[in-house]
Structure 1
Amino acid sequence: MDVSNNSSVDDVEKHANIGRTYLSNESVSSFSWNDVSVTVKDRHTKQPFKILSDVRGHVKAGEMLALMGPSGSGKTTLLNVLAHREATIGASVSGVTYVNGAPSDTKDFRKLSSFVEQEDALVGSLTVQETLDFAARLALPRSISKTERIARIKSLLESFGLREQAGTLIGTPIRKGVSGGQKRRVSVASHLITSPKILFLDEPTSGLDSAASYEVMNFVRVTAKKFKILVIASIHQPSTTTFQLFDQLLLLSRGKTAYNGPVAGIHDYFASTGYEMPTYINPAEYIIQIVNIDFSQNQAEAVDRLDQLHTSWNASQQAATLQASLDQTTQAGAGLSLDHAHLSANPYLIPLTLMHRSFIKSYRDIVAYGIRIAMYVCLAILMGTVWLRLSPTQDNITAFTNAIFFGGAFMSFMAVAYIPAYLEDLSLYTKERLNGLYGPTAFMLANFLVGIPYLFLITILFSVIAYWLGNFRPGTDAFFTWVMWLFLDLLAAESLVVLLSSLIPIFVVALAATAFANGLWMCVNGFMVEPQTLNVFWRYVFHYIDYQAYVFRGMMVNEFGKRNYACEVVEGACQCMYPSKLQDQCMIEGTAVLERYGFNTENMGKYVGYMLVIIFGYRLLGWVVLYARKH
């Protein structure tokens, strides 16, 4: 792993030019919590089970608190509770959090805090500088000028040792980008640009080696000290040097506190409980071994040891001092006054910012639309060469009908290729929404508008190849009517993908659900079974809400509504498979084919309207799903 900068604290201080005008945190002097408990229903016994029990803590401005414990100790749950996020599904939460000694509420708290996820919420196809720029545009108050925004970005790049990587891509599975340590620094920097007063870090050193871990946390420490930011980080067995960067430690085991105090005091405290720390050992590793009983040979003895540690802490002078500090803070608490008029970006510009970011991603990341364009072009060549230059005769009427079905249905079906790109966008949206940057309306609007030009390009490329190779009805109006129906088909198909992927944001499940839905629409769209003979249940429940049915109808009318087909001549006699007014001319009027399906050439505008309603309906339902999923 590349570690480009292992600067000392003094080196970082020298370059920390982030102006005090926007990282000033004098308004938040402390953050504390009292008697935080989280209870869930045990899966086996169905009885209440506490995963956190009466946890309390206190952090002052400029301090860094390490939240540690073995797996299953409740670190992530506590971090979520403190950050005013959902603790876990179906959990009951009790306890109070305080800012400057006054109880805090979720709306105001998210305006002054920021949460850095364990996995980097970064767009791989953006550069480092672009990532910070979009973070600033989405989160900075509308009163901040462009000049000041650019100045902040440059200062953060300099402060976090990223100046040389400013023009480097974050990196995608296809294109290599910055190192893991640099990604973590970009993640932290993108959250610091919003002037947080409280910063939560979920496993900030996960996946990094010891040098990179120290590098990331060292930058965070310098910034926290210099600008009085409260930092609470869950961390798993840091190296000795990284551990010593923290001021405070909250050690959990099985949801209870085993220690909560200064990092410098852990040697004396654990020695007083009978656990003398060896000289040459990582203190963080030692205390985790003490409270981790998962691998103990004698579980009963290990549980007794852990109970003794919890009892010792509750009876300790340190615990009493912590409680006294909490009581003193809450009694003197004045709360925090927020100027709501200047704490958020311009809501009218957020969709434009999201569109700009998505547009850059869409043309740089080949997975987003590049592969889909290539796939649809190949599908068009396949279709055009299979149904190659069909002549307008009655023998080819079935072939034309099959080609129309294939073109509409499989164009729709292959929209499943959009699922991975959408799930990536959805993951980023979820993290940014939890940080209070924007809501589902801006996300859904930007997602829809960015996709329109690409879907139209796909439609044109597909149609130029397949329409003329297949020799469908000639004429400019016929061609662009075909384009219109395919374009509406793709808009509806992608909207269906958005709805189902929002409802079930798991790739394999979303893929299966979308494939099943498309299979259903193919069955009831009127091609397999004519609408008038379709089973009553399928006809009235699904056929009339099937967007593929309207596409099939529209494309059939486009082909057969104004075209005639030559009948077959056998032994000098004309034999027409469809009776029509042109039978005496040995021709079949295309409308006769439409009559078989119960189609007519009237009210095509009405069916276009139905398509628009279906597209809007899918997007609206997708918005409802995102709105309902608030955590």
Structure 2
Amino acid sequence: MPQLNCIAPKPEHGSTSDPVEGGLSLTKMSSESQNKAVLAFPVQPKPLQLPLYPITLKFEEVVYKVKSEQEGFCCGGTWGTKEKTILNGITGVVCPGELLAMLGPSGSGKTTLLCALGGRLSGKLSGKITYNGQPFSGSVKRRTGFVAQDDILYPHLTVTEALFFTALLRLPNSLSRNEKLQHVEQVITELGLTRCRNSMIGGPLVRGISGGEKKRVSIAQEMLINPCLLLLDEPTSGLDSTTAQRILTTIKRLASGGRTIITTIHQPSSRLYHMFDKVVLLSEGSPIYNGPASTALDYFSSIGFSTSMIVNPADHLLDLANGISPDFKHPTEQSENMELEQKSLRENLKSSYEKNISARLKAELYNSEINNYSHTKDASIRSNRKAEQWCTSWWHQFRVLLQRGLRERRYEAFNKLRIFQVISVAVLGGLLWWHTPTSHIEDRIALLFFFSVFWGFYPLYNAVFTFPQERTMLIKERTSGMYRLSSYFLARTFGDLPLELALPTAFVFIIYWMGGLKADPVTFILSLLIVLYTVLVAQSLGLAIGAILMDIKQATTLASVTTLVFLIAGGYYVQQIPPFIVWLKYLSYSYYCYKLLLGVQYSEDDYYECSKGVLCRVADFPAVKSMGLNHLWIDVCIMALMLVGYRLVAYMALHRVQLR
């Protein structure tokens, strides 16, 4: 085993900043380049440089356990819970400039270990993980890039837009907008994204760039902060061999620049395997090899597991991790004896690891810690003082998130199908209620109730999908420290207003006048404001339901039950609700909307022709009398409490799920 003492390279460009101190120091552009337009980018004589401060990552005896239900044998129930060990005593070190690959079969704990090393794992985690001799902190978090296995990207943004918005959020305010855009251009060039820079990223329903290009965009988002530590989960998953080699070549080049890079990889080709500097081989959460990739085959040969064939080293290692010896012949059926043999082989490999690698690895790790402790102690103390600082202000985050949200939803905001849906319902309703005479008070009241029902339910169902669909993106960006939850929540809220208010406005303009309601401008404006008010309340409830459940199927089910109850208790179908359940109608915003619409459409002194030549007071009509036409401001205040209360519930629910 080679010595593990890591000599960290000095910060580039002659920076005098401490290598552990958080934040990024950037070379300022000249005043001339700052004044140039940001839409076209000429080649700069002095490109923007970001100093790289190296990180030595060490992990010792990392153990992670989770609780799992233990099933009973009699009734199919559960006796309780038991602990399952996912990671079992993993030790290692990665130095600046090195590329460490974690190999192992599915379920061996590769991704769990990667999340633990990236500070993204909560729960019963024990052991010691240090970064330049110090524990994980806010400053380390801001200089750590994490690329998940699935490419979590906004489908309707172009490559340049996605990277530029990321730069605006993750790079400090000390940089101008031009400097951040210049840095985006450098990263695009470095990762070979120039050809697709103006292409839409795409998604399941939107055609966009290729899988390899999406993976490079994900890596580019992390490269914008010039990470000292870069963690990648299955970066070649689902890619062809040529694209996978291009991705790994890029990663290897990034490592050679002084970065510490760790990647999980499932089944690399031999060409990819020989790019790794170090390999950690896991089997059922336990290490069976940790050392240079070039000596892995020699190690297993030395303990009696050599192969006579010329094989891909990764295939040989994965066979051993699965408990399959080199001379094993695959039978057609799985037998109990074969399972016992595989288990015995894995136990043999684990004991060989403890005997031949573990003790020496821990000793060298301990010596390395003694050598590096004095160089990192003081700097880390200064770093921790800045751990909780944000790179950008709250107002800056809000503006960028609002702008990004509007750009991302610019195709969805006025979707032709949604516009057709609303306009067609408005026109059809206007034809059905065409110029309803004042004497047909039942029909006019029914039209007002239709207002409250349609715009009480339509925005609720749309809002239910909001947070469940953005959950993965929210977790990804929040764990990277990109922005505050409050700035995201308010930006999302204000970004939805154009769509949420434009369609109901068009709806009311059409059906109000076609239906022949009170032809008074003040009454019309008040009716429109009440409908828009109800839309915001309904949207708030939808956001709260979606944020609490974070599951589209469950959320839509709960929304259906809620809207059905609100419909029945809205004051139109059942006018005399039994006293023991009358409280239900006071929970229904449709009830308050219906009452407010009646209150602005009619007054106590209004009359209608109840029979030929006979006038009756509107206030005495049973449907109106059960609702009442007074105390409208109380109803407005109650709806205001609903509006604020539902959104507070949604915000608190997002706090609960942000790291799940």
TM-score, structure 2 length as denominator?
Answer: 0.84
What are the Cα deviations for residues 468-511 of structure 1, in whole angstroms up to 9, with x where unaligned?
A: 22222212112222211111121112211211111112221111
The root-mean-square deviation of aligned C-alpha atoms, in Å, is 2.5
Q: Which runs of 5+ in 2 are unaligned?
A: 1-42, 72-80, 325-332
Letter in 1 for 2:555: A
- Whole-angstrom distance in 2 between the partners of 1:614 and 1:37: 46
Paired residue for 1:232? 262
CA contact (8 A) 1:113 1:198 kept: yes
Paired residue for 2:419? 373
Letter in 2 for 1:115: F
May I ask how many residue pairs the two structures share in their alignment? 588
Match of 1:259 among 267, 282, 289: 289
Paired residue for 1:628? 656
- Whole-angstrom distance in 2 between the partners of 1:593 and 1:93: 68
Paired residue for 2:124? 92
What are the Cα deviations for residues 53-105 of structure 1, in whole angstroms up to 9, with x where unaligned?
A: 11112111121211221111111221222221235xxx421112101122334
- Whole-angstrom distance in 1 between the partners of 2:419 and 2:323: 54
Match of 1:453 among 493, 498, 501: 498
Letter in 1 for 2:592: Y
Structure 2 residue 410 is the aligned partner of structure 1 residue 363: yes
SS at match of 1:141: coil
- Whole-angstrom distance in 1 between the partners of 2:512 and 2:269: 64
Paired residue for 2:175? 144
CA contact (8 A) 2:599 2:630 kept: no
Paired residue for 1:66? 101
Letter in 1 for 2:102: L
| Offset of residue 622 of structure 1 | 0.7
Paired residue for 1:10? none
Structure 2 residue 344 is the aligned partner of structure 1 residue 344: no
SS at match of 1:250: strand
CA contact (8 A) 2:598 2:629 kept: no
Structure 2 residue 558 is the aligned partner of structure 1 residue 513: yes
Change (3 A) 1:596 1:330: same
- Whole-angstrom distance in 1 between the partners of 2:390 and 2:277: 30
- Whole-angstrom distance in 2 between the partners of 1:158 and 1:78: 32
Structure 2 residue 79 is the aligned partner of structure 1 residue 33: no
CA contact (8 A) 1:170 1:178 kept: yes
Letter in 1 for 2:242: A
CA contact (8 A) 1:270 1:277 kept: no
CA contact (8 A) 2:474 2:658 kept: no
Q: Which runs of 5+ in 1 are unaligned?
A: 1-14, 575-585
CA contact (8 A) 2:99 2:255 kept: yes
- Whole-angstrom distance in 2 between the partners of 1:264 and 1:279: 17
- Whole-angstrom distance in 2 between the partners of 1:43 and 1:124: 38
What are the Cα deviations for residues 533-579 of structure 1, in whole angstroms up to 9, with x where unaligned?
A: 32334333x3323222211111122233375422222xxxx4xxxxx
SS at match of 1:102: coil
Change (3 A) 1:527 1:109: farther
Paired residue for 2:193? 162
Match of 2:349 among 266, 287, 309: 309
SS at match of 2:410: helix
Structure 2 residue 431 is the aligned partner of structure 1 residue 404: no
What are the Cα deviations for residues 144-176 of structure 1, in whole angstroms up to 9, with x where unaligned?
A: 222221111110111111112111111144431
Match of 2:151 among 111, 120, 123: 120
Letter in 1 for 2:364: S
Paired residue for 1:319? 358
Letter in 1 for 2:288: A
| Offset of residue 31 of structure 1 | 0.6
Matches within 5 A, 1:190-205: 190-205=221-236
- Whole-angstrom distance in 2 between the partners of 1:546 and 1:81: 46
What are the Cα deviations for residues 297-317 of structure 1, in whole angstroms up to 9, with x where unaligned?
A: 41111100000011111111x
Paired residue for 1:579? none
SS at match of 1:349: helix
Structure 2 residue 536 is the aligned partner of structure 1 residue 481: no
Letter in 2 for 1:38: Y
Letter in 2 for 1:321: R
- Whole-angstrom distance in 2 between the partners of 1:402 and 1:384: 13
CA contact (8 A) 1:114 1:196 kept: yes
Structure 2 residue 579 is the aligned partner of structure 1 residue 536: yes
SS at match of 1:232: strand
What are the Cα deviations for residues 587-630 of structure 1, in whole angstroms up to 9, with x where unaligned?
A: 23333337744444444333222222211111111111111224
Structure 2 residue 470 is the aligned partner of structure 1 residue 431: no
| Offset of residue 421 of structure 1 | 4.8
- Whole-angstrom distance in 1 between the partners of 2:483 and 2:596: 39
Match of 1:557 among 590, 593, 599: 599
Letter in 2 for 1:390: T
Paired residue for 1:56? 91
Paired residue for 2:540? 495
Change (3 A) 1:607 1:293: farther
% same residue: 26
TM-score, structure 1 length as denominator?
Answer: 0.88
CA contact (8 A) 1:389 1:470 kept: yes
Change (3 A) 1:563 1:248: farther
Letter in 2 for 1:382: L
Paired residue for 2:247? 216
Letter in 2 for 1:319: S
